[in-house]
Structure 1
Amino acid sequence: MEPIDSRSDARSHFIPASPAQVFAAMQDPDRVARWWGPAGFTNTIHRYDFEPGGSWLLTMHGPDGTDYPNESRFTRIVPDQLFEIEHLHVPHFLLTLELLPQDQGTQVRWRQSFDSVADYQRLAEFVAVANAQNLARLTAEVLRGEADAV
């Protein structure tokens, strides 16, 4: 198999909240529906069995009205530390989010790994923009959640 670095979009993003606060936005399907996906997308979550081996079924609704059915399964979950899914539709990928505590917040390490370099390269430009937007939306949801808690 080709080296993971050559077939992955990897990025790191700081969120000024604790790992527990970030993880809370990942485990609640109502909150996930608000932040998942690129800017302009909305989501309908049909199933969210948040446990290793659990199923995640959703439809992403593009800004142009196109629906994108998605099916994933949770492969690893470590509360306040790790969230990993296997995306079962084409394109097939593994997405890992690691939450690392830092002063005044959490460093989120995001890695979306495709089956091959060719699969990744076909989508690399879109994935880079979409993943950056996804992390920005996660940050906004975490901070919104904290404002709601006050």
Structure 2
Amino acid sequence: MTRNPDSSGMARAAPDDRNDRFATLTFDRDVAAPLAVLWEAWTAPAARAIWAAPSPSVTVEFLEADTRVGGREVSLCKVDGHPDIRCECGWLVLQPEMHSVNYEVISSEGMTQSVALVTADFEGADERSRLVVTVQLSSLAEDMEAGYREGFGAGLDNLAGAAERTMVLQRVIQAPRSIVWGAWMNPETLPQWWGPEGFSCRTKRIDLRTGGEWVFDMIAPDGTVFPNHHLYHEVLPEERIGYTLLWGENGPKHADAWASFEDRDGATKVTLGMVFSTAAEFQEAKGFNAEELGMQTLGKLERFVASR
């Protein structure tokens, strides 16, 4: 979670009152999204990259992200005229849709500014959920409490907004993860199953790697053509894909998306997530049953791998 450099400042001498170095902060958010969606928004690297910056003046660059127990996330927080702030997050506990614990180390110009233990608890019912985050903060180079309160609070506000325009689809496919991944990340096979029932794909260009793209038309049963452009910014073999959806070649952004693949005793749990660019686009997608159409797509994937 990125802190707000505008309020926390850069590294300075330690305060005289050493008791000022320690603080326990609590943040509470009610979110108009299902619990599974809020959990994905909290943990999925592609989603975290969307809501991490506390203000428009801050740019966050993710250098690495490994969201599993023992994994870590490293990002740089950039503001014009200030040194970069480095944030290292290490995941200690991940209990899906219930509880997470991570450590966080903030540094700038090689000097550690703070360390923290971040505990998040989740609960939910139907289309609403609740997140309570407790931060046990130890400031080192300076008093970081004010910066944490502002930056963490703003980040969680962003998280709530992102979760409320996020769609998450999940399906357990009865095939090994290597087979499912191979069907998804093969330029010959992906167009064969992608899309809802009755739709077909007409590919213009396809390059399934980090920095690659897929430019294609989806063709509905009635012949209607829907131009698409996927830009791949992360490909982690057999684990996850992060990509951007555009309305047609080099068109406006429609959504930021990710797909993750988890081994389930020889089967594969596939999670497909999309953070729509605006709340209006999310509601429009809900209106034309995008969730059902997406589940049809995952069903076609399952049938495709079963036939191989």
- TM-based fold match above 0.5: yes
Runs of 4+ in structure 1 deviating by more than 4 angstroms, as ranges, are: none
Matching residue of 1:55: 213
Is the aligned partner of 1:66 residue 2:224?
A: yes
Instruction: Please name the residue that 1:30 is paired with.
Output: 188
Note the aligned Cα RMSD (angstroms).
1.5
2:148 corresponds to 1:12: no
Which has the higher relative contact order, 1 or 2, with Cα contacts under 8 A spaced 6 or more apart? 1
Contact 2:187 2:207 in 1 (8 A): no
CA distance in 2, matches of 1:28, 1:19: 14
Richer in helix (by share)? 1
User: Please, which runs of 5 or more residues in structure 1 have no aligned partner?
Assistant: 146-150
Q: Distance in 2 between matches of 1:62 and 1:30?
A: 20
Aligned residue type for 1:93? A
Gaps in structure 2 of 5+ consecutive residues: 1-157
The CA deviation at 1:91 is 6.0
- In the alignment, the residues of structure 2 paired with residue 18 and residue 58 of structure 1 have an alpha-carbon distance, to the nearest angstrom, of 28
Q: Is 1:143 aligned to 2:299, yes or no?
A: no
1:80 is aligned to 2:238: yes
Q: Which residue of 2 aligns with 1:114?
A: 276
Q: How many residues align?
A: 145
Quote the Cα distance in structure 2 between the aligned partners of 1:84 and 1:130.
20
Alignment of 1:119-130 (within 5 A): 119-125=281-287, 126-130=289-293
2:262 maps to 100
Deviations 1:4-33 (A, max 9, x none): 321111121101111111110111122111
Residues 177 and 266, structure 2, Cα contact 8 Å, conserved in 1: no
Bigger radius of gyration: 2
Percent identity among equivalent residues?
A: 26
CA drift of 1:136 comes to 0.3
Q: Secondary structure at the residue paired with 2:234?
A: strand
